[in-house]
Amino acid sequence: MAYRKLGKTALELTEITFGAWAIGGWMWGGNEGNDAIEAIKVAIDNGITSIDTAPIYGQGESELLVGEAIKGISRDKIQIATKFGMRWDLAKGELVGPSEKNDGTKINIYKYAGKESVIEECENSLKRLGTDYIDLYQIHWADPTTPIEETYEAVLRLKEQGKIREAGVCNYDVAQVAKADKVCPLASIQEPYSILRKDIEEDLVPYVIDNEIGILAYSPLQRGILAGKYQPGHVFNAGDTRAGSKYYQDDYLLKVNSFLDAIKPIAAGKNVTIAQVILRWTLSQPGITIALAGARNAQQALDNASVMELALSDDELSEIDTQFAKVEIPA
């Protein structure tokens, strides 16, 4: 098992952490619960003992599936990260917009992280996960209607009560990270990061390196496009928001696939997949502590676990960067 410590804390997560967004089905065109539970169990059995989920993923579905999958496993053998601050069951805060549950029920999504909501969400997550503490508790998105100080005073209270081990943030800028960290010392920040999306390198990465805060990179495969399995004209299931993503438009997809074709020799030489190479590249970047990798079935979980045994030389990492630059993929 390959663990990495988050910042100045004692909390360690496996460098590949199970990202449980897709198993919730929401925004991914539905899910298959039994496959998801098996994927989590296989991941744990093969060394991925850390899981990152959130209440909004399937409106509780992802956390319930994680809770079911970890039943009977000694709690000190796994690390659970979840989030708060996105409500579909409370009309308060900033309206994000309308959405649908997996069953088609219409809902509205709000960003809200008032003190009482943070406490309530934690209790709800503990119940769904079937545990009495959360290893890493993170705000999902910034709530402009609530002072950060109020939000993280509530998080600090939860930490003092032993309901969470460490605090983190997601999708925050440098100024927001600094405000939260002053109230409740942060273990980590979770941000989108991939070879296609490196904007955090400009200011956030230097800041967290200087301040010893870990980075959990989400969507390192850019929601699957960097696995090299999609071709122009791909038809997604109803409700799968990748259909409208710029990354999955035909022109963009052709450029990405051209880059992936160029690095196939690296993957072939190590008898691994392109996705595994990309995940290891991600973990090799300055400031990146953890890469979140989703799995909707057992084979994907096994492939992700194998990344923890994969090594890339400096020359191979340089070759990946060189081939990426040649294709001139737009930011």
Q: Quick one: average pLDDT of 103-132?
A: 96
Q: What is the pLDDT, as a whole number, of residue 32?
A: 64
Query: Of the candidates 25, 78, 56, which has an alpha carbon nearest to the alpha carbon of residue 67?
Result: 78
Residue with tokens 């979140």: 292
**CA distances in angstroms from 54 to 20, 97, 128, 236, listed in the order given:** 8, 18, 11, 23
Residues 231/303, Cβ–Cβ less than 8 Å: no
How confident is the model over 69-81, as a mean pLDDT? 96
231 touches 253 (CB < 8 A): yes
pLDDT score recorded for residue 25: 59
The CA-based angle 300-308-26, given to 5 degrees, is 35
Residue with tokens 């060189």: 322
Average pLDDT, the chain: 92
Domains in the chain, please, with CATH? 3-231+275-311 (3.20.20.100)
Quick one: pLDDT at residue 331?
66
pLDDT tens-digit readout, 208-263? 999 999 999 999 998 788 988 877 766 767 666 676 677 777 888 889 999 999 99
- Note whether 200 and 164 are within 8 A (CB): no
pLDDT average, residue stretch 61-65: 92
Region 24-30: mean pLDDT is 56
Between helix 33-45 and helix 298-306 the angle, nearest 10°, is: 30
Rounded mean pLDDT, 263-275: 96
CA distances from 287 to 137, 166, 237 (A): 20, 19, 35
Give the residue-averaged pLDDT of 29-43: 80
CB-CB neighbours of 155 under 10 Å? 28
Q: Kindly tell me if the per-residue pLDDT of 26 is higher than 60.
A: no
pLDDT band at 14 (very low <50, low <70, confident <90, very high): very high
Structure confidence at residue 1 (pLDDT): 63
- What number of H helices and E strands is found in the chain? 11, 13
Residue whose structure tokens are 């999902």: 140
DSSP-derived pairing of the beta strands 106-111 and 94-100:
antiparallel
Its pTM stands at 0.93
Q: What is the pLDDT of residue 236?
A: 67
79 vs 331, more confident:
79
- Please report the pLDDT score of residue 31 as a whole number: 54
Q: Measured on CA atoms in the order 53, 138, 163, 113, is the torsion positive or negative?
A: negative
Q: Is residue 278 predicted with pLDDT exceeding 80?
A: yes
- What's residue 189's pLDDT? 98
Residues identified as active-site: 57
CA-based max dimension of the chain? 54
Average pLDDT over residues 40-56: 96
Three-state secondary-structure class, residue 311: coil
- Average pLDDT, integer, range 315-323: 97
Residue holding tokens 């010893």? Answer: 212
